[in-house]
Structure 1
């Protein structure tokens, strides 16, 4: 994995900056800066200050004017910062200009998120997705890796001559090698996606219902899956604790089986290349029968986070999926008016504390309702001579009880709609 440049082993103090172009959006700008603080803290970097700068218009060189840029650079030096982190997305040329001006490391929100993802990825698929996104981000920034990249090389003998054509610059060689690596990673990722598709087809053959848990990062999705399934998935109070999808099987109150998948958390201003790179992970949300959208009810930004999640789901083509909205962490809310306000905004929600187990039974029953058209609970009176039908029930349905009455077998079962018609003549009155 090539990097944008050599970074210090440990960035100790960072100045967090957001350049705003509309004073009317100041509250939102401050909220985004505070979220950037959470992201940077997740990397273990100390925060010196949060700085909101205003600019009347967007400038090509620094985003803001040269005077304002000089003020920010001086502000960073005065606070003895060794890094400036921008909430705004910086073009490669802007990143170079800022580093030349300030003489310290400069990164943006996208690079912060990529670094977090690189730390958290566990499975082969997630690591490939992270590598792809990081390489695509780094490719246009390779010009500042070394000072010798603008030197031309001849096409004669020697080790370097074998790699370069006549007059080819070192930067061109490196970019060509980088593109080859990106192509190779894409092929590896496609192979992993093919394997995922094969596993999905196996699930579809079994006609097992599937739901995906979605929501903003740190909303409590993994904790909810743990509580519903009795699993032991990493569930920490941190951003992007889960990057790898985890699927668990649960039994609903009506007896049918539901596969639940935990997905990566969303975040405002999620870099588009990450949406693209993580489609293989997030497509579980697209293909599920319904979604469980988890909101942190204790967070004053819950409505904003809902809109962010819906926006990303829209990019994936999943915004119209049937959805259960869950207000999580209700045990931490002391002001009843907060919950009342959220319930007005999101009617028919379920109040849950995944940590304390509050509302879990109600959520399970709601999941059964969402799948009500897939199964029916039926009692059949089947002649003992029709062993083919009892075998069908045992293989394709969930048999609750079996009794005998004369020469008939009385079977109570949860029956999927796909076989219900074949059994209708044997329904018990």
Structure 2
């Protein structure tokens, strides 16, 4: 990644600012500012003060009027603070204008989230995605990052006489962006290959999605025993983890923990993390996990659904699950959620309450994607027989000469795979597909 000039001193104390235009939007602005505080704390930056600023209209130069801006700067300088952090998105020019006015570092919510992602990324894929997002964010802000941009470049390798350092740096960043995109495409192709391998041995899979810090990793650990990082912090984990669980009907299910969402998630991060979030788009169904103890739980639900819609995954079968019910003190809050989401499951990953019901509901969803088939399989096809006993529910077994007749309940994808294998081995080995639905026989 292109090196950015280091700040002259470490950021030590911050002033948070949330600006809003509608009087009715004060409550939401206050909630967002609290969330920004949690994000900033994740970076380890002490917060000394917070300000909610109402302004009537957006100003091109500083987002808000000069009077309010001077008030914010005076408050920051009076307390000897090092950085002003806006919950609002600042344009590159607004950011430069603010730093010129304040004489200190000024950043916005996007930069905070990008910094958190940069610290949390562990795998090569996640690091590439973060690097791409950071580069695209920093490209129009280069004049803020470098102090030597007015110099002219010349000689061999320069793009024309008198090319500025800024132009050289922008060219370097664009080249690096292209490199990141190429490498990410390779990652996506590798994922596609892995999915093809997974489909050869089809096992239903579900993706756990939801707002950050709703308990997705904790749920994955409780259900599967997966050794995953669990912290009470926003964006504690960025990398997907997939583990297998055996459902009550002995049907295996793959569970994938995905990156959490947040309000005002930078769109470039949605795009950059598309390869990771693809797990949600290709899953058989989604487990939408929500924190029932949060007053803004409905806003969190809407945020997640909006991102899923951008990914084209909002129409998938979905099981809504409310976690942390042990932290809810107001019983009317749970009653209201049950009214709005009558099909939802209410659990506490911490105490285990409701987890058994969740597992049964997951089994029901898997069963809804199941079909019943009758196969005549040569006894020599030991691998296929073993696979069916391992991944399907065998209802009936009879032996006929050198073949085994099986009636099994199995995922539709596995049924298709078995049928193709048997067709390749000879049409006489496959009974014409017969689907048993609720004990009614429908001949295909």
TM-score, with normalisation over the residues of structure 2?
0.88
Residue 308 (structure 1) aligns with:
303
1:387 is aligned, of 379, 403, 407, to: 379
Please say if residues 288 and 318 of structure 2, whose CA atoms lie closer than 8 Å, have aligned partners that are also in contact: yes
Which 10-residue stretch deviates more, 411-420 or 233-242?
Answer: 411-420
| Structure 1: distance between partners of 2:35 and 2:131 | 24
1:244 maps onto 2:239 in alignment: yes
Residue 80 (structure 1) aligns with:
80
| Structure 2: distance between partners of 1:395 and 1:54 | 64
1:204 is aligned, of 192, 199, 205, to: 199
Which 10-residue stretch deviates more, 30-39 or 229-238?
Answer: 229-238
| Structure 2: distance between partners of 1:293 and 1:283 | 15
| Structure 2: distance between partners of 1:229 and 1:8 | 47
Written as runs of structure 1 = structure 2, the 5 A alignment for 1:137-286 is 137-153=137-153, 155-156=154-155, 161-286=156-281
Q: CA deviation at 1:415?
A: 3.3
Residue 102 (structure 2) aligns with:
102
Residue 15 (structure 2) aligns with:
15
Please say if residues 399 and 411 of structure 1, whose CA atoms lie closer than 8 Å, have aligned partners that are also in contact: no
Change (3 A) 1:337 1:229: same
1:45 maps onto 2:36 in alignment: no
Q: CA deviation at 1:95?
A: 0.5
Q: Give unmatched runs, 5+ long, in structure 1.
A: none
| Structure 1: distance between partners of 2:365 and 2:262 | 27
Residue 423 (structure 2) aligns with:
none
Please say if residues 4 and 139 of structure 1, whose CA atoms lie closer than 8 Å, have aligned partners that are also in contact: no
In the comparison of the two structures, how many residue pairs are matched? 421
Q: CA deviation at 1:188?
A: 1.1
Q: CA deviation at 1:422?
A: 3.4
Q: CA deviation at 1:162?
A: 3.5
Change (3 A) 1:391 1:117: closer
Residue 117 (structure 2) aligns with:
117
The CA deviation string for residues 46-85 of structure 1, in whole angstroms up to 9 with x for no partner, is: 1111101111111111001112111111111112210000
The CA deviation string for residues 377-428 of structure 1, in whole angstroms up to 9 with x for no partner, is: 78x898xx95268864432343669988999979685434425983989x99
1:322 maps onto 2:314 in alignment: no
| Structure 2: distance between partners of 1:8 and 1:341 | 51
Residue 343 (structure 1) aligns with:
338
Please say if residues 216 and 289 of structure 2, whose CA atoms lie closer than 8 Å, have aligned partners that are also in contact: yes
Change (3 A) 1:367 1:399: closer
Q: CA deviation at 1:202?
A: 0.8
1:352 is aligned, of 325, 347, 353, to: 347
Please say if residues 216 and 265 of structure 1, whose CA atoms lie closer than 8 Å, have aligned partners that are also in contact: yes
Please say if residues 213 and 236 of structure 2, whose CA atoms lie closer than 8 Å, have aligned partners that are also in contact: yes
| Structure 1: distance between partners of 2:315 and 2:397 | 44
Q: CA deviation at 1:129?
A: 0.3
1:422 maps onto 2:431 in alignment: yes
**What secondary structure does 1:112 align onto?**
helix
The CA deviation string for residues 363-389 of structure 1, in whole angstroms up to 9 with x for no partner, is: 1111121122433578x898xx95268
The CA deviation string for residues 277-334 of structure 1, in whole angstroms up to 9 with x for no partner, is: 0000001101111100000011111111000000111111111111000010112223
Please say if residues 149 and 166 of structure 2, whose CA atoms lie closer than 8 Å, have aligned partners that are also in contact: yes
| Structure 1: distance between partners of 2:186 and 2:310 | 23
Please say if residues 5 and 142 of structure 1, whose CA atoms lie closer than 8 Å, have aligned partners that are also in contact: no
Q: CA deviation at 1:3?
A: 5.0
Please say if residues 2 and 172 of structure 2, whose CA atoms lie closer than 8 Å, have aligned partners that are also in contact: no
Residue 424 (structure 2) aligns with:
none
Q: Give unmatched runs, 5+ long, in structure 2.
A: 420-429, 440-444
Please say if residues 132 and 177 of structure 2, whose CA atoms lie closer than 8 Å, have aligned partners that are also in contact: yes
| Structure 1: distance between partners of 2:76 and 2:322 | 40
Query: What is the root-mean-square deviation in Å for CA atoms of aligned residues?
Result: 2.7
